[in-house]
Amino acid sequence: MIVRSSAISEDTGEESKAGMYESVLHVRGEQGVNDAVERVIASYGERQTAEDEVFIQPMLRDVALSGVLFTMDPNTGGNYYVVNYDDKTGSTSSVTSGSGTDLKIFYQFKGYGGATGFPILDKVIGAAEEIAEHFRSQALDIEFAVSANQEVYILQVRPLVMKRVCKDIARQEAILKRTARYIRKSLGKKPYIFGDRPVYGVMPDWNPAEIVGVRPKPLALSLYKNLVTDGTWAYQRDNYGYKDLRSFPLIIDFAGLPYIDARVSFNSFIPKSIETDLADKLVNYYLNQLIEHPEMHDKVEFEIIFSCYTFDLRERVEVLRKYGFSQEECRMLTESLRDLTNRIIDMSNGLWTADASKIDILKRRHQEIMSSDLSRIGKVYWLLEDCRRYGTLPFAGLARAGFVAVQMLKSFVSCGVFSQEEYHGYIASLNTVSTNMTEDFAQLRKEAFLNKYGHLRPGMYDICSPRYDEAPDRYFNWENARNTALYGREFRVTVSQLEHIRTLLKEVDLSDDVLSLFKFLKGAIEGREYSKFVFSKNVSDALVMIGEIGSECGFAKEELSYMDIEIWKGLYNSEKDVGDSIGKSIAQGKERHQDTLGFTMPPVITKPDDCYYFHLDDASPNFITLNKAAGPVCFETDSELEGSILMIPSADPGYDWIFSKNIAGFITKYGGANSHMSIRAGELSLPAVVGAGEKLYNRIAQAEYLELDCALKKVEVIK
């Protein structure tokens, strides 16, 4: 048997108290039942009333699948069935306890009426529809199990506590229909581009999910598109010897969620010298690999495509032979990438060095603009125009050179020139902005430090994110500044390593000037970071002035975050009313963004139905609520937790005590969207990341101060 709580204080419309009281599994015999009942009643504590009950139910055997289903998405108010389930362990509590490490999450939009291709889940959702109709409720939390013979058992139904208003299903359905229609029409061959079909992802190129978030506000998204992904990105690829994709926008937004058009991206990595038939074949291979391995969407340039020459390229391209590529086609690709890479790393042709010099032009012009008598609207216009021409364009080139440099360094490891430790040692020896900032923090006075770095903000395109100089004490502990350790980062390449590299260069017919190669490696990697640091000042100062102008018109920064950056061109070249233009843009942006907040879509979209139902990538953390929080990183053993971002291993109900500590938010290594801690966080509107996974959890656990933005699905390391 199983003995479970059924207290009158549970499952109200205000809170579920999910997991608060005892459940005793695998109970046998009369005495066992009596003891279990006593344990459950005792768990009610001082809250006991005469109306409290205890459930005694048969314990299910041969469980093939179990989990929790929400009939609404409590984080967004979206009209989705959200199914968090375990089809591995046979446990009926791995989801609710948060102990499962291999849980799956399935979303299905309520307006979708067809079969999903997952028959068991279709049966579970069918049962949920029946129950919702019976209770006349659109927001339920249903625990279920499916036996080995595919019978569905409903273990418990409770009201789903919703802190967000449920979205209008007819409006959501209309938007999804438009999205599905757009995807359907984009299928098949298209003029001026290789590849038989599109694939859309949130991270394959220029990483919008990382840079502006999954659900960015209109100002951040429009600014990023304006400065980078509408055209600048393609000009850079063309300049560096790849196919010309000018006039192709890289970001497509579905209901305000930004996706990279991977077909366009993959075309832009084909060297110009590659002929049509091979180019088409390569793009289709890349697309098919992404479709087969969607978990690679954030690492396509490392795992799927061939975009530059490395010392191990001839071995790596052999994988193409398994997919119908001839030896001659592999040779043609290898030679094209070698010629392209030679042009990039050649110090004499000035390709990336010219980009580096443009950054100095941007610095000079920034000073001219800021000291001029231009109106603030004029300054905003020219800061962004210059940023695109002398900032993000050369940055894109230096980023490409930096990527080539890192790939070549990694191939040093695979070819035995460097050990893994030596690779990291070389990277650590470089003078990047990050390393310089650490040293400056230890050596400069507060005013001097902020004068140099004060324009930086955690979200470069987010007007609501304070700059360092706007909230310095939030970001830095000035009392400990002089205690910051400075490490010697010198790295020396041995004579034998230099000879090894020179031999490799000759073997693959790359420039055999080893010293020039290392000059390129150092300059490209450092230049990439420095150029971003410089152009971010134009962006940051433009946002400051937008905030000032908006404030004079009666708009707060939060309101301005909904406007579209494109209106500033119209304000600069016409006599339009500033307040009226801003107000109209804000109103349109707010309406659009409210729709955006209600949608959840998969990281990779390959077909129209993907916007209606999908499994979330196992590696995708679960962001609970759409709220933001920031605070110092703490662990359960720390004495002071108030205002902290608490790190805990799993979403165990035993951690309920943390909610009395006034924490700002929490992050768990394991757990699912429907676990106990997820439910409690949703009820309390407490920002949380549940099930971050080992890699992300271990990385951010090293931080001192974090910011969670659950709407954008971002964890930002502040320091």
Distance CA 321, CA 151 (A): 46
Contacts of 528 (CB under 8 A, 6+ apart): 395, 398, 399, 401, 402
Around 561, how many Cα atoms within 13 Å sit in the side-chain half-sphere? 17
Kindly state the tokens that stand for 241: 């010897």
Q: Which of the residues 366, 455, 500, 676 is marked catalytic?
A: 676
In the chain, the largest separation of any two C-alpha atoms, in whole Å, equals 89
What is the dihedral sign for C-alpha 441, 446, 451, 454? positive
Distance CA 113, CA 369 (A): 57
Give the Cβ contact number of residue 277 at 10 Å. 10
Kindly state the tokens that stand for 163: 């802190």
Which residue in the block uniquely carries the two structure tokens 């018109």?
553
Dihedrals φ, ψ of 425, to 5°?
Answer: -65, -40
Residues in the chain: 719
Looking at residue 266, what DSSP letter applies?
A: H
Distance CA 203, CA 354 (A): 28
Asked if residues 84 and 673 have their Cβ atoms less than 8 Å apart, the reply is yes
Distance CA 456, CA 462 (A): 11
676 is catalytic: yes
Alpha helix (H) residue ranges in 393-432: 393-414, 420-429
Asked if residues 217 and 592 have their Cβ atoms less than 8 Å apart, the reply is no
Reduce the DSSP state of residue 525 to 3 states and report it.
Answer: helix
Kindly state the tokens that stand for 232: 């600048």
Distance CA 692, CA 621 (A): 4
Q: What is the DSSP code string of 515-568?
A: HHHHHHHHHHHHHHHHHHHHHHHHHHHHHHHHHHHHHHTT--HHHHTTS-TTHH
Task: Indicate the helix (H) or strand (E) that contains 13.
Answer: none
Dihedrals φ, ψ of 86, to 5°?
Answer: -125, 115
Find the helix packing angle between 376-386 and 514-552, rounded to 10°: 160
Around 223, how many Cα atoms within 13 Å sit in the side-chain half-sphere? 29
Distance CA 145, CA 5 (A): 18
Asked if residues 565 and 219 have their Cβ atoms less than 8 Å apart, the reply is yes
Looking at residue 24, what DSSP letter applies?
A: E
Write out the catalytic residue numbers. 676
